[in-house]
Structure 1
Amino acid sequence: MTDTAYGPSYLYIDGEFITGGDRRHQDIVNPATGQRIGSLPHARIDDLDRALQAAQRAFATWRQSSPLERSKILRRVAELTRERAPQIARELTLDQGKPLAEALLEVNTCAEHAEWHAEECRRIYGRVIPPRQPHVRQMVLREPVGVCVAFTPWNFPFNQAIRKMCAAIGAGCTLVLKGPEDSPSAVVALARLFHDAGLPPGVLNVVWGDPAQVSHHLITSPISRKVSFTGSVAVGKQLAALAGAHMKRITMELGGHAPVIVFEDADVEAAAQLLARFKARNAGQLCIAPSRFYIQEGVYEQFLELFTAIYGSLKVGDGLAENTQMGPLAHARRVDAMDDFVNDALERGARVACGGQRLPGTGHFFPPTVLTDVPDDARVMVEESFGPLAPFTRFRDIDEVLRRANALPFGLTGFVFTNSIKTSTRVVNDLEVGMVNVNHFGITLAETPFGGVKDSGIGSEGGSETFDGYLITKFVSQASPA
């Protein structure tokens, strides 16, 4: 069965939308129903080569383009994004599963990313260095790195792709992007947005296919100069090693396992409400989800009761259904993974406060689940669950909780709740993450950098740092003729 409201999917190469031929096609499935809703063409090797060659050819002129031209196109992308947001969001819900309201928020928020890059690309400045001799002029230039290749995930397909597109294109680079085969509609929509905004052929190319084959071909090609990846730590390390073997620049935004630290002096009710709602976003399938809950002993029971009452009562269902607050997991294998995490925690002495078992019927549904008194060696405390599991544990003092929170190799983001400036300053300084939220959620904005430390990645996306990974630094020292 195919949902007639779900549009066709294409390759986008050298300004052309391509499908059909003898290419392999993959079924696109609605995770809420398990039904086929579309078909996605996979790129052949000659398609990948054509995309690389188109990007190389386009770079010769795009690198010389005026920042005003790039800015105009990015602004038009923002305008078109808002105009088309309802349809883009609906298709995003159909193939990814998140509630329609969340999908619409993702698309509309991303219009700001296009606008931010439209402004920042006009401010890619070099500098003049005072020379040691009067007849010498020395300067630093920032130039686009060249043809970039990017790989984006299925959990926030519009958001993750537009960040890389805007940064590469705004910097004067050209791009070949492989989007997520399971939820492709958002990236197809982005290709259409840039096409209709007047982007020259070859500057942006979109391909699909077997991830290992496509990534190896694009990264090892002598044409590509930069690799950007968002996804798991394991895959990120493989791609980083491959890129390093060929001396390609990299930006890696990898997995997280965000600690939540709630101190006794916090506004416990406000913290519970914010965290319960945010934990349910995209069914917990986001790298910045709160995923390890460290609650100080004096407020543990109070916080647990408040959090569980909100989190356990959320309505789970089809993302297009009215009043749905949490949708399905994106894949059947993710439901199996949730079962494994819960069973392991229970075997180690944890208890279930709510949820804990997959929901019956069709679709990939798992309920909001709270696990209490979870030991630090449980898998759900050590590995990123990437689902609606909230494991709780107690702590005594700040030294103990920082030691436990920093014990893992992950370092993307963290959440801290306290009314003490002294406490918050200590945690901000000592928590080993790239982003810290204190008493609220304040990251992922267009004007703020997004990135982690340790195994959670290399480099940042967004903010004034957004173009750093797409520019080279050229030093010029020029003497006047004698």
Structure 2
Amino acid sequence: MSNSTMTLLREQAYVGGRWIVAEDKARKWVNDPATGETIGHVPDLNAAYIDGAIDAAHHAFSTWRHTSVVERADKLLAWYDGMHEYAEELARLMTWEQGKPIGEARGEVDYAASFLRWFAEEGRRANGSTIPPENTQIAIGTVKEPVGVAAMITPWNFPLAMITRKVAAALAAGCTTLVNPANQTPFCALSLAILAERAGLNNGEFNVVTGAGKLFSERVCATDKVRALSFTGSTTVGRQLIRQSADTVKCTAMELGGNAPFIVCDDIDIDAAVEGAIAAKFQTSGQDCVAANRIYVHRSIYEDFIGRFAERMNAMKVGNGFDEDTEIGPLINEDAVEKAQSLIDDARDQGARIIGREQGAAPGSQFFMPTLVADFTPDMQVSSEESFAPIAPICSFDDDDEVIAAANDTIFGLASYVYTHTDARIRKFMRGLEYGMVGVNTMDITGPHVPFGGIKQSGLGREGGHVGMDEYLETKYYCIGGLPAV
């Protein structure tokens, strides 16, 4: 890859409809995780620039909030069309800076674009209500109004979809937006800005503010000009952002950490369950908040499942994401590799069986070979920590109540999965699992129509679905008196 082949690569921030370079020349460098080679740089904006971006979004809000739902929809749909026109370039840019296998990157482009279309249509349905009055000489009801400027801090693992899922909802609601993308993947965000500009979102409705997330969060949380904050990332950072937002009482939406259980009962087709577990575990090389983090298999099929899972896992190709055959790409940095190895070492020291190819076979310093950790126990770090790596901890269980209790024994509650063909079991697991999302006999649980989100310390609010705009709307009640008697 080279910069000359990329028409959507821009080494500038996008603020108030203008492309800017910091006057102090401060930069954040971006590297290809597969090769370590430098892709380019983006401005590391200081506090003054961030404040300028806040002002631009605040100024734009006074106009954007009064645009018709038809105009908002037209611009979101034009943006959607632009993403499809440049779909292959967007996918290749994603693979270049994030490392994701190119097939998965193409899938994410479609997924990301789908939120633009969904919320373009959903914006027409931000309905208020008419309330029957007790006094016939008054009229009462509600209207939905945009909350104001919305700031978004987005992660590197889904560098297009996590932006459009937030921004499309906010723009459709009539809010203006400030996006601070992850420093590892800013070019995907800036490519969206190019296409948004072409779609007519060029007056401060959509801003991409590159640079340190800590400084960005401090500035947006401290000002009343920003009324909503949406974050996808770790629970540790989410807690801090909630604290920072308290003084200005912001609307906060948090999609935080996960520790997803994947439960395989004894009444299923083992091969189907293995394929589901493989997909749930290894998408985005395991760097996914809804990835299966703990796999529980009924004791009667436990060893059979392990054998088939290991065979399928060991056949997966690990390599550069631009190779069409690659199924597992690099991790985002070497720290992630070190963490993955520490989880394996801890499990091995406590008696787990470690199954997989030697790590010495990895094609580079930021790759980690997929590994099965058999017979994990609750005391092992892999049981409680989100690995964000291609590590599959597996243990056995004997009865349903036991495995539900084990699955729920975590502060997290984002996604969960269960494979069973028994109706009564399906109902039991669906209600008993303390998670915001439960996938039954499938790991394909996301989409623009889905209210994505978790409970407990996995977050606040929902993204997507018909409730996705709620994070960016206020309900205003009205009471009109003095009506003539009927």
Give TM class, smaller chain: over 0.9
Amino acid paired to 2:385? E
Corresponding letter in the other structure for 2:5: A
TM-superposed CA distance for 1:360, in Å, is 4.6
Change (3 A) 1:44 1:212: same
Distance 2:417 2:483 in 1: 59
Q: Which is further off, 104-113 or 149-158?
A: 104-113
- Distance in 2, matches of 1:248 and 1:20, equals 29
Secondary structure of 1:280's partner? helix
Unaligned runs of 5+ in 1: none
Matches within 5 A, 1:328-407: 328-355=330-357, 357=359, 359-360=361-362, 362-407=364-409
Q: Percent sequence identity over matched residues?
A: 38
Higher mean alpha-carbon deviation, 343-352 vs 192-201, is at 192-201
Against the structure 1 CA distance between its residues 20 and 52, is the aligned structure 2 distance closer, same or farther, given a 3 Å change threshold? closer
Contact 1:268 1:303 in 2 (8 A): yes
Q: Distance in 2 between matches of 1:44 and 1:256?
A: 32
Q: 2:225 aligns with which of 223, 226, 236?
A: 223
Matches of 1:414 and 1:129, distance apart in 2: 39
Q: Does 1:185 align with 2:205?
A: no
Deviations 1:255-285 (A, max 9, x none): 1010010000111110101221332211000
Q: 1:322 to 1:363 in 2, by over 3 A?
A: farther
Question: Which whole-Å CA distance do the structure 2 matches of 1:80 and 1:61 have between them?
Answer: 24
Shift of 1:321: 2.0
Q: In 1, distance between residues paired with 2:435 and 2:25?
A: 43
SS, match of residue 205 in structure 1: strand
8 Å CA contact 1:175–1:204 kept in 2: the answer is: yes
- Offset from partner CA, 1:388-408 (integer Å, 9 cap, x none): 000011111011001110010
Within 2, Cα distance between the matches of 1:242 and 1:191? 28
Tell me the SS of whatever aligns to 2:359. coil
Name the structure 1 match of 2:85.
83
How far did 1:2 drift? 6.5
Shift of 1:193: 1.4
1:124 match:
126
Cα contact 1:143–1:473 (8 A) shared by 2: yes
- 1:210 Cα deviation from its structure 2 partner: 1.6
In structure 2, do the counterparts of structure 1 residues 264 and 361 end up closer, same or farther at CA, with 3 Å as the change threshold?
closer
Q: TM-score w.r.t. structure 2 length?
A: 0.97
| Paired letter, 1:133 | N
Of 168, 172, 175, 1:173 maps to 175
Q: Which residue of 2 aligns with 1:207?
A: 209
Amino acid across the alignment from 1:465: V
Per the alignment, do residues 358 and 20 of structure 1 end up closer, same or farther by CA in structure 2, a change over 3 Å counting?
farther
Q: Aligned residue for 2:472?
A: 470
Q: Deviations over 1:366-419 (max 9, x none)?
A: 011101001111000111001100001111101100111001001001010001
Q: Does 1:5 align with 2:10?
A: no
Deviations 1:134-159 (A, max 9, x none): 11000111100001111000000101
* Count, aligned residues: 482
Query: How many angstroms does 1:21 deviate by?
Result: 2.8
**Equivalents in 1 of 2:417, 2:51: separation in Å?**
44
- 1:33-432 alignment, distance < 5 Å: 33-355=35-357, 357=359, 359-360=361-362, 362-432=364-434
- Taking the aligned partners of 1:120 and 1:313, their CA distance within structure 2 comes to 43
Structure 1 window deviating more from structure 2 (276-285 vs 407-416): it is: 276-285
Does residue 463 of structure 2 align to residue 461 of structure 1? yes
Unmatched segments (≥5 aa) in structure 2: none
Q: TM-score, normalised by structure 1?
A: 0.98
Q: Distance in 1 between matches of 2:39 and 2:455?
A: 39
Shift of 1:101: 1.0
Of the structure 1 ranges 215-224 and 334-343, higher mean CA displacement relative to structure 2 is found in: 215-224
How far has the Cα of 1:3 moved from its partner? Answer: 5.0
Is residue 319–residue 363 contact of structure 2 (8 Å, CA) maintained in 1? no
Which segment is superposed worse, 347-356 or 135-144? 347-356
* SS of structure 2 residue aligned to 1:118: helix
What is the rounded CA distance, in whole Å, between the counterparts of 1:172 and 1:383 in structure 2?
Answer: 38
Q: How many angstroms does 1:113 deviate by?
A: 1.1
Q: 1:358 to 1:338 in 2, by over 3 A?
A: farther
TM superposition shift of 1:89: 0.8
- Cα distance in 1 between the residues matched to 2:376 and 2:98: 30
Shift, 1:445, TM fit: 0.7
- Whole-angstrom distance in 1 between the partners of 2:248 and 2:212: 21
Of stretches 420-429 and 350-359 in structure 1, the one that deviates more from structure 2 is: 350-359
Cα offset for 1:481? 5.8
Distance 2:102 2:254 in 1: 29
Q: CA deviation at 1:31?
A: 0.4
**CA–CA separation in structure 2 for the residues paired with 1:332 and 1:345:** 20
Displacement of 1:322 in angstroms is 3.6
Q: 1:240 to 1:359 in 2, by over 3 A?
A: farther
> In the alignment, residue 223 of structure 1 is paired with which amino acid?
K
1:71, 1:18 → 2: CA distance?
28
Which residue identity lines up with residue 5 of structure 1 in the other structure? T
Is the deviation greater in 377-386 or in 209-218? 209-218
| Cα displacement (A) at 1:426 | 0.2
* CA displacement at 1:442 relative to structure 2: 3.1
Aligned to 1:32: 34
* 1: CA distance, partners of 2:208 / 2:387: 30
Q: Which amino acid aligns with 1:132?
A: E
CA distance in 2, matches of 1:470, 1:322: 39
Output the amino acid matched with 1:40. V
Paired residues of 2:138 and 2:483 also in contact (CA < 8 A): no
Letter of the structure 1 residue corresponding to residue 146 of structure 2: P
- Return the alpha-carbon distance in structure 2 between the equivalents of residues 82 and 220 of structure 1: 37
